[in-house]
């Protein structure tokens, strides 16, 4: 059985489409998305009158003339993982001054996007026989879960134990240990340990299992992120890297010794680490460039056949 795993697409339209098409390209039987589907920013495209619009993408201001240019910019913004939002100067002012207003706009954008992604996946995966599992990550709002559940060809696997085949089970969670950003699905390591332990304890054969957990194990090298100052500036010009993974996940990997660990969360942490016979992978993420990093793993009944990290 061949798995393709990717993670942290963060709203990038092109990365989602690549993910759905990856099964065919890599000849995979199962697709797994490790979490953090949703974007982090909204880019307002502000009407200026006379069919002109102003947009500032990546600190670069552009004046768009006509709907065709707007559509092109919408595509560029979506592929970069942001939400384009065609609006007026008055609404921009309202969103930026009224507390909670931007959260409401975000929610609408996130829901619309995830719904569009589910429709795309249902269309492309229909009749392929390919299975696709998605487990939202710490950055994902809870509201997207119902949209994923409603999909015909994608299965929401948060908190679930999945039987991939007769030899391999997979446990899943997108929850992480605390981050400096107080995100949607994060909790202290003790609680996280309990959360995952509940699922892991149901495994019939942990040694051939797959742990699909968003947070990488602490100190694995898959969790190295730039050190931050207290006010979230990059310390030492980003030269200084520190481990920020989960102690709970590390304990679970050491306790259950699964066959494979699939992680994400830390985009800079691309790599592979072995704990005894457990192969741990974080494919990293370059979603902003529309590049889908992933891992292709060929599973044998009791071992890993081959594996490869991809930059697709």
Partner 1 sequence: MGEVTLFVRKASGLVRSWSIFDAFIYSAFSINLITLGLFIFSYAYYFEGNLAVAVVIGGAFTIFEVIVYASLISAMPRAGGDYVWQSRILGRAIGFILAVTGWWFILWLWVPLYGQMLMYEVLTPLFAIAGAKDAALWMSGQTGLLTGSLILCALVFFYISVGMKWYARVQKVCFWGGMIGLLLVFVLLGFGTNETFIANLNSIAPAMFGTEQIDLYQATLEAGEAAGTVSAPLGSLVLGASMLLIPLITFQNLWPNWGSTLYGEVRGASDYKRNFWGMAAGVIVTAVLALIFFGLIGKTLGWDFYNKANGAFWNYTWGYTDVAPPLPFWPYPVLFAAMMTKAPFLQFLVVLLMSLWWFGWSGTIFLSSTRVIFAAAFDRMLPEWVSNIEPRTRTPINALLLMVIPGMIVATLYAFNIFDLQTLALDSTLVIAVTFFGSTIAAIILPWKMKDVFDGSPIAKFKVNSGWSWLTLLGYGAVSIFLIYKSIQYGIAGSAAIAGTVSMLIYILVWILNVANAAVLLYLLYYVWKNLAADKQLPLITFAGLVFLPFLDWLLVEWFWDPSYLYGIGWTNTSSIVFMLINYGLAAAIFYGFTAYRKRQGIDVEKVYQEIPVE
Residues within window 124-163 making contact with partner 1, judged by CB under 8 A: 124, 138-139
Contact criterion met (CB below 8 Å) for 294 and 20 = no
The closest of 285, 272, 214 to 244, measured between CA atoms, is 214
Our CB check for partner 1 shows the closer of 17 and 168 to be 17
Q: Write down the least CB distance from residue 204 to partner 1, Å.
A: 28
Which ranges of 163-222 would DSSP assign to H, the alpha helix? Answer: 189-200
Our CB check for partner 1 shows the closer of 10 and 162 to be 10
Contact criterion met (CB below 8 Å) for 11 and 17 = no
Burial bucket for residue 158 (CB in 10 Å: 0-12, 13-18, 19+): buried
For residue 179, the Cα-to-chain-centroid distance in whole angstroms is 16
Our CB check for partner 1 shows the closer of 162 and 282 to be 282
Our CB check for partner 1 shows the closer of 68 and 231 to be 231
Residues 235-294 that bind partner 1 (CB under 8 A): 235-242, 265, 267-268, 270-274, 284-286, 288-292
Query: Cα–Cα distance between 181 and 127 in angstroms, integer?
Result: 41
Residue 61 makes contact with partner 1 by CB under 8 A:
yes
Residue 177 makes contact with partner 1 by CB under 8 A:
no
Residue 185 makes contact with partner 1 by CB under 8 A:
no
Residue 76 makes contact with partner 1 by CB under 8 A:
yes
Residue 69 makes contact with partner 1 by CB under 8 A:
no
Residues 292-311 that bind partner 1 (CB under 8 A): 292, 296, 298, 305-311
# of chain residues touching partner 1 (CB under 8 A): 87
* Alpha carbon distances (Å) from 184 to 36, 180, 308: 11, 12, 31
Query: Cα–Cα distance between 55 and 84 in angstroms, integer?
Result: 9
The closest of 281, 250, 49, 31 to 151, measured between CA atoms, is 31
Residues 93-122 that bind partner 1 (CB under 8 A): 93, 95-96, 102-103, 105-106
Contacting range for partner 1; rule: CB under 8 A; set: 147-155, 158-166, 187-195, 224-232: 224-232
Backbone angles phi, psi at 277, to 5 degrees: -100, 5
Backbone angles phi, psi at 213, to 5 degrees: -125, 135
Residue 203 makes contact with partner 1 by CB under 8 A:
no
Q: Which of 163, 207, 233, 255 binds partner 1 (CB under 8 A)?
A: 233
Q: Which of 18, 131, 153, 168 binds partner 1 (CB under 8 A)?
A: 18
């Amino acid at each position: 059985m061949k798995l393709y795993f990717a993670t942290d697409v963060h709203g990038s339209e092109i990365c989602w489409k690549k993910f759905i098409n990856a099964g065919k390209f890599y000849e995979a039987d199962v697709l797994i998305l490790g979490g953090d589907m949703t974007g982090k920013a909204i880019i307002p495209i502000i009407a200026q009158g006379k069919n002109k619009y102003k947009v500032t993408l990546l600190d670069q201001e552009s004046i768009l003339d006509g709907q065709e240019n707007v559509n092109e910019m919408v595509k560029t913004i979506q592929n970069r993982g942001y939400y384009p939002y065609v609006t007026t100067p008055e609404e921009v002012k309202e969103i930026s001054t009224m507390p909670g207003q931007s959260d409401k706009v975000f929610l609408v954008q996130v829901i619309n996007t995830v719904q569009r992604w589910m429709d795309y996946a249902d269309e492309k995966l229909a009749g392929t026989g390919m299975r696709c599992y998605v487990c939202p990550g710490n950055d994902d709002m809870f509201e997207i879960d119902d949209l994923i559940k409603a999909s015909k060809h994608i299965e929401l696997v948060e908190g679930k134990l999945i039987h991939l085949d007769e030899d391999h089970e997979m446990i899943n969670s997108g929850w992480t240990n605390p981050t400096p950003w107080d995100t949607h699905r994060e909790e202290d390591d003790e609680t996280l340990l309990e959360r995952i332990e509940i699922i892991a304890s149901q495994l019939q054969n942990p040694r051939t299992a797959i742990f699909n957990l968003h947070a990488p194990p602490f100190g694995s090298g898959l969790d190295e992120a730039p050190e931050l100052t207290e006010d979230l500036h990059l310390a030492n010009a980003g030269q200084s890297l520190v481990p920020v993974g989960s102690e709970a996940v590390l304990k679970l990997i050491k306790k259950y010794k699964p066959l494979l660990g699939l992680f994400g969360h830390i985009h800079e942490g691309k790599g592979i680490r072995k704990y005894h016979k457990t192969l741990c992978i974080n494919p990293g993420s370059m979603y902003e460039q529309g590049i889908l990093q992933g891992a292709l793993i060929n599973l044998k009944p009791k071992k890993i056949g081959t594996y490869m990290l991809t930059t697709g």
